[in-house]
Amino acid sequence: MAFFNKGRRDEDGSSKSKKTNKKNSSTEQNPSNPSVENQAGGITPDNFVYSTNKDLNGKKDSEPMKTYKDKDKDKDRSKRLGRKSQPLDAASIRSRDEAQLNADSFVYQPEAEGTVDDSSFHGEYKTQSIRREIPSSDPYHPGASSLEERFNHDFEGENKILRRSIKRVGAFVLAMFIALMSYMVYFQVTRADALRTSSGNRRNAEARNKVLRGSIYDRNGKVLSLSTLSEDGTQIREYPGGQAFGNILGYVSNKYSVTGLEASMDQELSKAPGIESIFTKDFISSLINPEQGVTKQQEGNSLHLTLDTGLQRAAYEALDGRKGSVVALDPKTGEILAMVSSPGFSAEKLDEVMKRANSDEAYAAQAPLINRAIKSVYAPGSTMKVVTLAAGLENIPDLETRIFDDQGMIEFADGSTLNNFNNNVYGEIGLEEAFTKSSNYVFGSLGMELRAEELRRAAEDLGFNAPIKMEGMTARQSVFPTLSEAEVGNKALAAIGQGAVSATPLQMAMVAGAVANDGRLVQPSIIGSITDKDDNVVSESGEPELSLAMTREVATKVKEMMIKNVTSGSSSYQSLSKLNGAGKTGTAQFAVDDGTRVHAWFVGFAPQENPEIAFAVVVEDLADVNENTGARQAIPVAKDILTYWKNR
């Protein structure tokens, strides 16, 4: 575009002489000349001065004009264009520049006050700005009226895109960082303990093989599990306790991992609590010199359990291979004296057991690898009447003197019924006799009379609906349902141990223990103490944790009724009476595809005065309801338990 004046022009468009240019050069040193200041500031398309040697009124300028370029350069340009430089007057300059500006959509916008006199254009233009005029039809810059606005529009648009991209990248990086940190926190904090003791933790397995594993003893010092070294220096784990202890002790195997107490107490037995015990001098030395193996490592700690080997074997043999469980404990200390799950297995023949479990469906259905004492739950049947009796004595005044009209059946609004066993009808009957005869009518009626909250609270005070705290083992939670007052039928079923009620054998042994201990519930324990290789005590069980499950007065009344149940009961109970025992039977029915099956229960304690042992027996999944009652199936097991305990 023709923006710049190549030389000084007079009114007729001819060029001035070099003499005039010398005058112009003298004016460059005059700082008071505005034109010079403009030249010093630089000539740009946005701020340009067209000048002549006269002002707009035709008067001669006081100083000659400062040219932007000399004539020689102007002549050179003309030669390059192949045409002779023609002098231009002011009108020609204006016409040419307006045409160029119109073509490029530019307009002049004067910055100084006043306007240029078009009729007498003589002299110089005042300082003027050239701004780009954007066509109204520009689809990319709607509403922009100048080059500056278009530039700002483009700059802002590009900034928005850039900011949006940066935000997306930043959000992605932040999300990945949060995900990574969450992953690390989950495994390093939340799951740390579980992973450290996990049977699949290869670090523990590697460290375990470098430590001579500690032994496990019963309460009397009898060896239940120990490790020996083979000729090549590898460990061999032996289990002298046999099948009776299989589900309690578990097993440790590089092939089948680790279970039971072997797993839960692995850190003590193998001295392998994770990274802390792995990166030791001895461990690093063993990596450098693998031949030194286990013989150069220290021995693990040993466990001393509260179990009694003789009682454990007596209970296991009494079950005689039937599916079931026995738990016996000290009601005052909570120490578990026996914990039997039948059928059991021999950990020394683990390959054979695993092969049979995978190939023999009948054997696998017996679930020999499950510790039923703490992992299986059953409807407790009439043994739950011990809990209902305690709730009734606590919340219903004069219950002991009440006479019930036992009609043998309770009919509910929906047409369903609750019947006594064998549909017996007892007529007028008191509370003690109703407990002895195990009247479903009376105890179902008590369940409907008691508020749902009162019944549930009595069960929870005895340990239902809460985890059982015990070192070395995790017991499955027993359940007593939360019912509304309108659910009268479900309340009646819950009161007799049916419906949605379920309990582990350990839980029901705790119920019997609370009654025997004057209403005080003791949290169970199975680890008596831990010793190091030199028989120094590392830790031992502290004072038992107690809670009040029922008042002493209520516990005394329940205890008396459990004693009366044995002394005045059928011939099946007489054997227990001779052993100075007390308790309550239960026959819990459950439906299957081909009919009804039962679990046979007995819970009790001995001796009757100052009890030393409380226990629960369950024989599960029996077919004949009438023949396989608690009295016929569970009491004989209880008899063998008490016989051993009395004669030990």
CATH code, domain with 271: 3.90.1310.10
Give me the half-sphere count of Cα atoms (radius 13 Å) on the Cβ side of residue 619: 28
Core vs surface per residue 396-431: b (16+ CB within 10 A) or e: eeebeeeebebebebeeeeeeebebbeeeebeebeb
249: Cβ contacts below 8 Å, ≥ 6 apart: 216, 224, 225, 239, 241, 260, 261, 262, 347
Alpha-carbon gap, residue 114 to 489, rounded angstroms: 104
* Angular region, 423: left φ>0, alpha ψ -120 to 50, beta rest: left
On the 0-12 / 13-18 / 19+ scale of CB atoms within 10 A, 347 is buried
Alpha-carbon gap, residue 613 to 489, rounded angstroms: 35
Alpha-carbon gap, residue 35 to 528, rounded angstroms: 107
Alpha-carbon gap, residue 503 to 558, rounded angstroms: 20
- Domain presence at residue 7: no
- Domain presence at residue 437: yes
Give, in degrees to the nearest 5, the angle at Cα 605 between 456 and 603. Answer: 50
CATH number at residue 504: 3.40.710.10
132-136, 263-267, 437-441, 634-638, range with the lowest pLDDT: 132-136
99-113, 152-166, 179-193, 541-555, range with the lowest pLDDT: 99-113
Judged against a pLDDT cut of 70, whether residue 243 lies above it is answered with yes
**Final residue of a domain: which of 106, 132, 158?**
132
Query: Which range is most confident: 545-549, 554-558, 629-633?
Result: 554-558
Core vs surface per residue 450-460: b (16+ CB within 10 A) or e: bebeebbbbbe
What's the average model confidence in pLDDT over 244-256?
A: 91
- Domain presence at residue 367: no
Place of tokens 């469906």: 361
Cis peptide before 34, with omega less than 30 degrees from 0? Answer: no
124-133, 446-455, 488-497, 624-633, range with the lowest pLDDT: 124-133
Cβ atoms within 10 Å, residue 50: 20
Per the CB < 8 A criterion, the answer to whether 5 and 50 are in contact is yes
Residue 403's pLDDT is: 97
Judged against a pLDDT cut of 60, whether residue 297 lies above it is answered with no
- Domain presence at residue 632: yes
pTM strictly above 0.85: no
18-22, 83-87, 485-489, range with the lowest pLDDT: 18-22
Whether residues 422 and 545 fall in one domain: yes
Question: Within 63-186, where are the H helices?
Answer: 71-81, 90-103, 147-185
Residue 262's pLDDT is: 93
Judged against a pLDDT cut of 70, whether residue 10 lies above it is answered with no
What's the average model confidence in pLDDT over 1-17?
A: 44
Q: Which of 218, 216, 219 is nearest to 265 (CA)?
A: 216
Whether residues 334 and 269 fall in one domain: no
DSSP annotation of 142 reads: T
Residue 469's pLDDT is: 80
Residue 638's pLDDT is: 97
**Over the stretch 174-185, which tens digit does the pLDDT of each residue have?**
999 999 998 888
Whether residues 290 and 329 fall in one domain: no
Place of tokens 């016409």: 95
Who wins on pLDDT, 77 or 163? 163
Whether residues 344 and 471 fall in one domain: yes
Who wins on pLDDT, 204 or 453? 453
619: Cβ contacts below 8 Å, ≥ 6 apart: 319, 322, 323, 324, 599, 600, 628, 633, 634, 637
What's the average model confidence in pLDDT over 72-97?
A: 56
Who wins on pLDDT, 280 or 450? 450
Cβ atoms within 10 Å, residue 382: 25
SS3 234: coil
SS3 599: strand
- Domain presence at residue 620: yes
Residue 202's pLDDT is: 66
Give, in degrees to the nearest 5, the angle at Cα 381 between 380 and 382. Answer: 115
SS3 292: helix
Cis peptide before 636, with omega less than 30 degrees from 0? Answer: no
N-to-C CA span, the chain: 121
Residue 256's pLDDT is: 86
**Final residue of a domain: which of 104, 132, 160?**
132
314-323, 435-444, 468-477, range with the lowest pLDDT: 468-477
Alpha-carbon gap, residue 14 to 87, rounded angstroms: 5
Whether residues 239 and 333 fall in one domain: no
Q: Percent of the chain scored above 90 by pLDDT?
A: 53
- Domain presence at residue 310: no
Whether residues 286 and 347 fall in one domain: no
**Final residue of a domain: which of 89, 111, 132?**
132
On the 0-12 / 13-18 / 19+ scale of CB atoms within 10 A, 47 is middle
Residue 428's pLDDT is: 96
What's the average model confidence in pLDDT over 112-133?
A: 45
What is the dihedral sign for C-alpha 573, 575, 578, 584? negative
Judged against a pLDDT cut of 80, whether residue 40 lies above it is answered with no
Whether residues 427 and 489 fall in one domain: yes
**Over the stretch 392-442, which tens digit does the pLDDT of each residue have?**
999 999 999 999 999 999 999 889 999 999 999 999 999 999 999 999 999
Core vs surface per residue 613-623: b (16+ CB within 10 A) or e: bbbbbbbbbbe
Alpha-carbon gap, residue 208 to 516, rounded angstroms: 43
DSSP annotation of 299 reads: B
Alpha-carbon gap, residue 14 to 86, rounded angstroms: 8
Per the CB < 8 A criterion, the answer to whether 74 and 2 are in contact is no
Residue 498's pLDDT is: 96
Per the CB < 8 A criterion, the answer to whether 97 and 128 are in contact is no
Judged against a pLDDT cut of 90, whether residue 287 lies above it is answered with no
User: Can you give the residue range of the structural domain that contains 230?
Assistant: 196-305
Per the CB < 8 A criterion, the answer to whether 507 and 464 are in contact is yes
Whether residues 298 and 382 fall in one domain: no
Place of tokens 């299989």: 246
The structure tokens listed for 323 are 């599916």
Judged against a pLDDT cut of 60, whether residue 273 lies above it is answered with no
Judged against a pLDDT cut of 50, whether residue 48 lies above it is answered with no
Question: How many domains does the chain divide into?
Answer: 3
Judged against a pLDDT cut of 60, whether residue 114 lies above it is answered with no
- Domain presence at residue 2: no
Q: Which amino acid is at 82?
A: G
Residue 543's pLDDT is: 85
Residue 168's pLDDT is: 87
Alpha-carbon gap, residue 55 to 61, rounded angstroms: 6
Q: Percent of the chain scored above 70 by pLDDT?
A: 69
Whether residues 83 and 225 fall in one domain: no
Judged against a pLDDT cut of 80, whether residue 455 lies above it is answered with yes
Alpha-carbon gap, residue 93 to 13, rounded angstroms: 10
**Over the stretch 570-602, which tens digit does the pLDDT of each residue have?**
777 888 999 999 999 999 998 888 788 999 999
- Predicted confidence band of residue 239 (pLDDT cuts 50, 70, 90): very high
Judged against a pLDDT cut of 90, whether residue 270 lies above it is answered with no
Whether residues 92 and 229 fall in one domain: no
The structure tokens listed for 87 are 């002098």
Mean pLDDT (the chain) is 80
**Over the stretch 124-166, which tens digit does the pLDDT of each residue have?**
444 444 444 445 455 555 555 555 565 566 666 667 777 788 8
Q: Which of 454, 434, 312 is nearest to 394 (CA)?
A: 454
Core vs surface per residue 1-24: b (16+ CB within 10 A) or e: eeeebbbbbeeeeebbeeebbeeb
Per the CB < 8 A criterion, the answer to whether 406 and 531 are in contact is no
What's the average model confidence in pLDDT over 209-219?
A: 90
Residue 147's pLDDT is: 59
- Domain presence at residue 81: yes
Whether residues 122 and 201 fall in one domain: no
Whether residues 422 and 512 fall in one domain: yes
The structure tokens listed for 56 are 């707009």
Q: Which of 268, 248, 239, 259 is nearest to 199 (CA)?
A: 259
63-67, 373-377, 497-501, range with the lowest pLDDT: 63-67
